[in-house]
Amino acid sequence: MNGQNNINTEVAPLLNAQNLLCERGERVLFANLSLSLYAHQALHVRGVNGSGKTSLLRILCGLLPAVEGEIYWCGRDVRHCQHEYRAQLAYVGHKSGIKAELTAQENLRTAQMLLAHAPACSPTDALDRLGLANVINLPCGLLSAGQQQRVALARLLVSGARVWILDEPFTALDQNIVALVSALIVEHVQAGGAVMLTSHQVVALPGIELNYFTLN
Amino acid sequence: MVEASHKLYVKKAVPASAWRACLQVLRRDLLLSLRRRSEFSNPLFFYVIVVSLFPLAISPAPKTLQMIAPGVIWVAALLATLLALEHLFRSDYDDGSLEQLVLSPHPLAALVFAKVVAHWLVTGLPLLLLTPMLAMFLHLSAQQTSILLLTLFLGTPTLSLLGAVGAALTVGLRNRGLLLALLILPLYIPVLIFAVASVVNAGVGVVVTGQLAVLGALCVLALCLTPVTTAAALKVTLT
């Protein structure tokens, strides 16, 4: 069901979920779901609206408890290594996590302090890479939806996390920025990271193989 | 660039201290309060207005005012705290910052504690600073005023800490204001009783160290138990 990068099938997955069962309200969204995410892998989770893509990502992050099933980080149950797991995880969801009253730089500084390790790159550099150098000192409430989404994505660069979990990362971004963000994903995957994302757009990641996981 | 970022994964993760993360949360929340002043100034206005209406409504006679003052001031302070608490996690919940706090590798209880401290600094502390003026309106003696300030100093942190649990449980709901009051007010009653009793007793010259000790104990108990409870409540709210 899930695509696996042929280079990595013999190595242990970074993230491994076994027999997940998710219920929202009284409805079972998915049952017996197992998937693995390897280093050097980009995984696109697909499915129709309401098929549980967001729930799956939230379960993997630990924001939503799975009714059944286990999640393993580097072979260890995440419940026993939460600190290590969270230190290597960056999540950008539907809610940006950006404070409208703070500037982009102040927002990223908070994100940086919440990390468990030294930041991978400075907030200024991260914003610069996402083309936000000219609005760095504006309150985020004044930025457009696309610019706010870019500030949220800049958090990934600052975090230095190994696993990126992205829920609709391309929302509100224009074509050039989609290409820019795709390039960042490719770079991250090539450097040994792993990315799991959902998107309703066609995701083009030049240079790496994109794997698919379909929820039905 | 690829090489540069590759190095990051080789570099061993050096744990930055949770302490610094808490300080950053504290600083961020204080900065936010500064940028949206109405959110924390409204409960303070409420406090001043409610207390200053009593002399008009009941009687301007110093004796009557002196008698009702401890109760009036404490009830107004309690309701003002409750009013302010609604905002403790709300914007964080709405904009997704709460998810990021929960996902941080640092202990959530510590980060939550930092938020409550920031909240107390912008609501409880100004309330404390306004109180001498209001005590003067109500003809409280200097000695009673000092005891009143002491009870507020010991009591308002307890109110904020206890209220944080309720705020965390109700932040995702629509009718959160009423529910928060219903959940939290019963827990506030011991604080109210001991605080008012000590101010009243101070007025008639009875030793109040016992009541103050109970207030202090409640504060310490809340300090120990509520951050963990609030963190657990927030995790439940986010699911």
Residue B170, min C-alpha distance to chain A (Å): 17
Residue B17, min C-alpha distance to chain A (Å): 7
Out of B95, B105, B111, whose CB is closest to A96? B95
- Containing structural domain, residue B138: 17-237
The neighbouring-strand residues paired with A15 are: A37, A73
Residue A11, min C-alpha distance to chain B (Å): 17
Q: Please report, for residues A58, A156, A168, A198, B4, the alpha-carbon distance to residue A92 in angstroms, rounded to integers and kept in the order given.
A: 10, 8, 8, 11, 23
* Range of weakest confidence among A161-165, B8-12, B170-174, B224-228: B8-12
Residue A10 is predicted with a pLDDT of: 57
Q: How many domains does the structure of chain B reveal?
A: 1
In a domain, B8, yes or no: no
In a domain, B3, yes or no: no
pLDDT, tens only, A149-191: 999 999 999 888 899 999 999 988 999 999 999 999 999 999 9
Residue A115 is predicted with a pLDDT of: 79
In a domain, B7, yes or no: no
The neighbouring-strand residues paired with A33 are: A20
For tokens 């138990």, the residue is: B225
> Do B16 and A117 lie within an 8 Å CB cutoff?
yes
Residue A215 is predicted with a pLDDT of: 86
- Name the amino acid, one letter, at A39: A
Number of H helices, E strands in chain B: 11, 0
In a domain, B108, yes or no: yes
Contacts of A109 in chain B (CB under 8 A): 24
pLDDT category at B210 given cuts 50, 70, 90 is: very high
| Sequential pLDDT tens for chain A (216 residues) | 444 444 444 578 899 999 999 988 888 888 899 999 999 999 999 988 888 899 999 999 989 988 899 999 988 898 888 888 998 899 999 988 899 999 999 999 888 888 777 777 888 898 999 888 898 899 999 999 999 999 999 999 988 889 999 999 998 899 999 999 999 999 999 999 999 999 988 888 888 888 899 887
In a domain, B195, yes or no: yes
Out of B2, B102, B111, whose CB is closest to A63? B102
Q: In what order do the strands lie in the sheet with A210-214?
A: A89-92, A163-167, A194-198, A41-46, A210-214
Residue B5 is predicted with a pLDDT of: 44
In a domain, B103, yes or no: yes
Backbone φ, ψ for residue A52 (5° rounding): 105, 20
In a domain, B4, yes or no: no
Contacts of B21 in chain A (CB under 8 A): 113-114
pLDDT, tens only, A39-56: 999 999 998 888 889 999
In a domain, B9, yes or no: no
Contacts of B102 in chain A (CB under 8 A): 63
By C-alpha distance, which of A9, A191, A171, A197 is closest to A90?
Answer: A197
